[in-house]
Chain A
Amino acid sequence: MQLAVNVAVLASLYALIACGYVLIYRVSRVLSLAHGELMMLGAYGLFATASFFPGHPVLAIGVAAALALAVGVLVYLALMWRMTGESVLAAVLATIALGILLRGLIILVFGTQTRHPLEALGFANGSIAVGGGARISTVGLVLVLTCAASYAALFAFLRLSRWGIRMRAAGQNPLLAAQRGIGLHGVYAIAWGLATFTGGMAGMLIACDAGLEGTMVVLGLKAFPAALVGGLDSLAGALIGALVIAAAEVLMVHHVDPLLSDVVPFLVLLVMLIVRPWGLFGSREELDRV
């Protein structure tokens, strides 16, 4: 039972991070390897606002979330729009370079010691019994709920709202979409904003649970297999992929070897790439387009 709870928490974490990869890839065909760093930036943003507005946790969280959204849009406007239409390699490398830049800047501004935004916010991390002898930490529960809410909102946004439909159109065929009067740069900027927002939320929640330090970037990378296993252009796939990766990781760590934790996602990824490279729910022609 405890294992199931662990899987659920880890899966929601991966899913929340992975939907950033999927959003950016689906709309603009760019793989953002700076996602881990952007996530960490979101978490440090929360830490900064929590120290800036002491005693107003709700305000701090709201400002931090808005900041994450703004940072994503800014990243696109400052850097990634120049990479539109460039080769895949150039765009991916630009995100890697951005990641290094951000990591350096974060250390310059915030230093290297572990931070605890939860204490800065003035909350404590309790644990709640969920039956069957299993317990879940408060932050873990919030994580699962946030993930569910984010996915519901994203599905609704992409299916129902005008901008969501524009995003799907731009992802399907950028040339046709542009000719029908959809401003691609605006759509791409929103995709980056949303991706950074969800990633930032994930970062904030992990930081609340486990403290905030540089190793968070690895977590961002480990969520990437979840996106790919589900299919890089499928949001529902990312959810399933996250579940698969999280289950594999928790079970392997529990039954085989704790050292495996960093490798299992990539092993699953390799198996998937060999068996079904376009992922569980991805569309097959994606492979020839890259």
Chain B
Amino acid sequence: MTPPRASGYFRTQYAQDFALLDTRTQRAWMLLFALALAVYPFYAGPLALDLANQVLLGVVGAVALMLLTGCAGQISLGHAGLLAAGAFTAGILFKEFGAPFWVTLPASALVGALLGLVFGLPSLRLRGLYLAVSTLALHFIVIHLGAEYETKRGFSTGILVDPPSVGRWVLVDARGWYFVLLAFACAAVLLSLNLLRTRTGRAWRAIHGREAVAGALGISVQGAKLSAFVVSSAMTAVAGALFAYFRGFVSVEAFSLFLTIQYVAMVIIGGMGSILGAVLGTVFVILFPYTIEWLMQAAGLAERLSGVVFAVNYSAFGLVMILFLVFEPQGLVGIWRRTQAWFLLWPFRHRPLAGSK
């Protein structure tokens, strides 16, 4: 996964090459991080806990999009449509059949996978821009179907979904949600990291690099594209279903094009092709509006601009996205890697030229 360290640590066994964390220091840090995550909800206030929940929920969707766009190189502008599909599957199954969550979640995944197949079919003929446009078209169609259901069944304001329950235990408090969402986020991250180390993941990276070469190496380009769409969409739909339960409410208004843009921004700002990037990007994008609000309060502008906070958010969000695209296309991960390199190479500024060890 990670490149060999400059410190003289060399891998001598395959098992070391497979390991996700390959030095003792990394393992120690990871343990510390896991502990911090575990005790976080007991010390965080209600707002901090809600933010953490939003981030964890976002991570599932962002990782899914990262697999598709960052790793397999297939541009998708239909992410909100897929989230909506998952949320509506859960909502409709609950409303029409009273299905419990252990039915609705797998059903959402299944619907997501099927939709992924549909979203992925254009990718067999189209590339780049045209693919992005076809996924955009599918987004509008999924949203239309959702709106159609809402109006035809008389839920024009949205579908109310009861919180999931096991026996007498009902999942309502934020702390409970934190651990459930943490489990899903960890599962998504681990699944993606492991997938990327398998034949499938390497095939995705190969078609991202160059399709013709990937085909010449014996990779089924069509198969790899479709599998990327199916896996990513299934994960996204599960994220959508979780969203429905978390909010307790499903409505097409929540799945506008802006949601897609937010997820794409997570991937861009985080850094293309890196799961760590997806997580960092999610944290950034979710916390961003709250930071802006806090800054406005600190600057004493909050009262004057109280009616247009969301407009300020909008413009600042667009500006930050532009700044990242223009000045830091590698995203937050790029900054992180440069910082690492700075410490690794210190006191030198650059890596030695190739060839000299």
Contact = CB atoms under 8 A, between A and B. Distances in A.
Interface residues of A, number: 42
Interface string B267-299: 010000000000000000000000000000000
A92 B75 CA distance: 11
Nearest to A278: B130
A225 B137 contact: yes
Interface string B308-345: 10111111111101100110010000000000000000
Contact of A107 (B258, B311, B322): B311
Contact of B314 (A89, A100, A274): A100
Contact of A96 (B122, B261, B308): B261
Given A98-B322, A99-B318, A290-B130, A262 B144 contact: yes
A74 to B, nearest CB: 14
B130 A108 contact: no
Interface in B224-250: none
A103 B319 CA distance: 11
A83 B130 CA distance: 19
Interface string B162-179: 000000000000000000
A269 B319 contact: no
A263 B144 contact: yes
Given A79-B322, A90-B329, A101-B318, A270 B261 contact: no
B137 A290 contact: no
Contacts of B268: 93
Given A79-B322, A277-B125, A228 B133 contact: yes
Contacts of A99: 318
B128 A89 contact: yes
A224 B137 CA distance: 10
B132 interface: yes
B253 interface: no
Contact of A266 (B137, B151, B265, B326): B137
B6 to A, nearest CB: 30
B312 A104 contact: yes
A263 to B, nearest CB: 4
A108 B315 contact: yes
A68 to B, nearest CB: 20
A124 interface: no
Interface in B91-138: 122, 125-130, 132-134, 136-138
A266 B141 CA distance: 7
Contacts of A107: 308, 310-311, 314
A253 interface: no
Contacts of B261: 96, 100
Contact of A263 (B69, B141, B312): B141
A224 B129 CA distance: 13
A90 B257 CA distance: 18
A128 interface: no
Nearest to B317: A100
B271 to A, nearest CB: 13
A275 to B, nearest CB: 10
Contacts of B195: none
A92 B151 CA distance: 34
Interface in A181-205: none
Contacts, number: 124
Contacts of A103: 314-315, 318
B22 to A, nearest CB: 32
Contacts of A97: 265, 318-319, 321-322, 325
A130 to B, nearest CB: 33
A99 B258 CA distance: 11
Given A82-B326, A263-B141, A263-B144, A98 B133 contact: no
A267 interface: yes
A149 interface: no
Contact of B316 (A79, A102, A104): A104
Contacts of B184: none
A94 B322 CA distance: 6
A287 B130 contact: yes
A90 B75 CA distance: 11
A1 interface: no
B132 A92 contact: yes
Contacts of B134: 269-270, 273
Contacts of A266: 136-137, 140-141
A70 B332 CA distance: 34
A105 interface: yes
Nearest to A271: B137
B129 A290 contact: yes
Interface string A221-240: 10011001000000000000
A270 B141 contact: yes
A270 B325 CA distance: 29
Nearest to A78: B322
20 contacts: A31-B133, A82-B326, A92-B129, A93-B268, A93-B321, A93-B325, A96-B264, A97-B321, A99-B318, A103-B314, A104-B315, A104-B318, A105-B311, A107-B314, A108-B311, A221-B257, A266-B140, A270-B122, A270-B134, A290-B128
Interface of A: 31, 79, 82-83, 86, 88-90, 92-94, 96-105, 107-108, 111, 221, 224-225, 228, 259-260, 262-263, 266-267, 269-270, 273-274, 277, 287-288, 290
Given A107-B314, A225-B137, 14 more contacts: A31-B132, A89-B132, A90-B329, A97-B318, A99-B318, A100-B258, A101-B318, A108-B308, A108-B311, A224-B133, A267-B141, A270-B122, A270-B137, A273-B130
